[in-house]
Structures are given as structure tokens and as C-alpha cells.
Structure 1
Amino acid sequence: MSELKYLAAYAPELQAQVRNMLAQDKLGAYLQQRYPERHSVQSDKALYQFTTELKQQYLRNSPNIDKVLYDSKLDVLRHALGLHTAISRVQGNKLTAKKEIRIASLFRDTPPEFLQMIVVHELAHLREKDHNKAFYQLCQHMLPDYHQYEFDLRIYLTWRDTLAKKGQG
């Protein structure tokens, strides 16, 4: 039984379905059929604009974001959905916090739904620090199919790992 590290928290029945699709080499076709498009947000500047537009639409009263960028050094398993940070700096006699969102570079070549889901996840952390009920309600408010996209993104990461193990990725 192969380990499905990105799907470990999901029901055994769902994991069995994914294993079955992997064994039949159908997972890539499933993802391609379900998500045929790739997003056009390729630069850090475009990612910043994409993120600030979503923030403006749903989280107007939340703190401004100072930096949004693709990061090639993110550990995908630990930070599969990106990383949000607040960097505190002393400026004179004031303490300021710079808000940053970093998205793993591998998400440059994913469907627009996956990028939007990752950005929504990181934006939700502006209001809710923990992954609690309020956090996921906020994610669903900003992206009604949030949970399906997160599950499918985890399937995508599993498929990608399988390709890498076969030497195709």
C-alpha cells in the first residue's frame, strides 16, 4: 500500500480510490479533464496584483499585504499551500509588521482554481491564524468550492510525486 502523504487526513475510501487511479495510471488524465487550463499569473508582480484584488474583494478591512511572491525554496510538504509571515521591524521608536505571502514556485504551472485556492488560504490567515472552523468558513466564503479544490490539489501533488519517482517529473 503506497503512502499518500498529501492525503493522510482523508478517509480511507478516498485514499483507496486515489491508489486505484494511480495503479491504473488514470490520475493524470482525471486531473487534465477536470482542470484543462493553466493560469497566466507567472510573475511576482502579477501574483501580487492577483492577491490584492482578492483581498480587496473579500477582506477590505484586513491589514495590507506588503509582498507576495513565488518562492522556489518552500518545502511543499510542510507548506503545501504557501506561507504567510508577519516580519516585525523597528523603525525609530515604532514597531512595524510587514505582511508577506509566499507561494511555492511549482504552482506557477497549475490550474487557476489551485492558485486561487492557495491565495484564499493564505489570505484567510490575515483574519484567522489557526486552521479552525472560522478559518475554513472564511475560505468557503471567498471560494465556495474551496474544499474540493484543496482535495484536488492534494491529488495533483500526489500525482506529481508519482511522476518524479518514475523519473518523468
Structure 2
Amino acid sequence: MASSLTYLSHYPQHLQDQVAQLLDANKLGDWLRARYPHIHNINNDKALRDYAMVIKNQYMKKTQPLSKVVYDNKIHIVNHALGLHSYVSRVQGGKLKSKNELRVSELFKATPEAFLNMIVVHELAHLKEKEHNKAFYQLCRHMLPDYHQIEFDVRVYLTELENTGHVFVTPTA
């Protein structure tokens, strides 16, 4: 099996080799499920907004408010986007109104909470730091100390998903 490691291309070769071996042995999904055995239940836009607001209010009270937080089925992982933040300015009644929106790929509706948390933290960090620079990643680590490990695991998840089409399956009764 020629495995695709698109999401891991910036990681050291020895890590890519380990992931490729697990993937080729059809054990990568098992590794992920053992590491993250539970799927979160934040499965609608209201619950996602509430979840994001708790994190925002804990770490980023002074940033501009969020006008929208939603799961989005139009985010294409092909473009390596897991979530999106947008800042929209509109003229409304002679005043300039700004809106911050946070969108999370629907892929993260059925994943471990750690994965969703990493995506939300990443997108919230963009409220303060627009670029992926040192300050951005420091802010991510401030909100989520294991940010880099979880980001790697999310990329492993995307690799398994791309290669097999599934990872976390909700058990049927």
C-alpha cells in the first residue's frame, strides 16, 4: 500500500516513517483510538459556540466578540483548512460594524474533544494574531499546553481518514 502522508510532510522523516508503518500495517486507526478512546458530544452549532465561548472567555476576554461560531461542511481539507476565522467589516446604518466568525470543519463533529479543542484554540488565536508566527503559537500553547502534540495527532487522524475513509466510528446499538 502506497500511503499518503500529505498532512505530515513538514515533520521529521522518522515520524513520517513510523506513521507510514502503522498505516501500511492497517494499525494507525487502532493507535489513534487507543490514544483517544472517547468522542465528544459537541455536535451542533449552539454547543460549539458555547464551547468556544468558554475558552475565549477564559483566555481572551479582551479580544473582539465572536458573531458566529459554526460547523461548516464547506471547508475543504484538500486546502489543509481545518477551521476558518474571518473578520468581516460592513457598513450598517452609516457605521462600520465588524464581525468575527469562527468556522470548524464538520469532520470534527465525531472526533475526540482534544482535536476539537485544538482547532478552536487555533482559530481563537487568530483573533489576536493573524499570522502563523511565534506569537501565534505561544498563544496557542498558553491556551492548550499540549497544542503541538495534539496538532500532530490531528494530522495523523487526517492521514488515516484520507487513506482509509474512517477512524472514529460511533458504536451502533
- The alignment's TM-score, normalised by the length of structure 2, stands at 0.92
Alignment identity in percent?
Answer: 53
Q: Does 1:130 align with 2:131?
A: yes
Query: Do the aligned residues in 2 keep the contact of 1:68 with 1:100 (CA within 8 Å)?
Result: yes
Q: How does 1:12-161 map to 2 (within 5 A)?
A: 12-161=13-162
Query: Do the aligned residues in 2 keep the contact of 1:81 with 1:121 (CA within 8 Å)?
Result: no
Query: Do the aligned residues in 2 keep the contact of 1:85 with 1:100 (CA within 8 Å)?
Result: yes
1-structure distance, mates of 2:80, 2:87: 16
Q: Considering only aligned residues, what root-mean-square deviation do their CA atoms show, in Å? A: 1.2
1-structure distance, mates of 2:45, 2:6: 29
Residue-pair matches, total? 165
Match of 1:53, SS state, is helix
CA shift digits 1:61-100 (9 cap, x unpaired):
0000000000001011324330000111111221111110
In structure 1, the gaps of 5 or more residues are none
Amino acid at match of 1:51: A
2-structure distance, mates of 1:45, 1:2: 37
Q: For CA contacts below 8 A with separation 6 or more, give which structure has more relative contact order.
A: 2
- The alignment's TM-score, normalised by the length of structure 1, stands at 0.94
2-structure distance, mates of 1:145, 1:48: 22
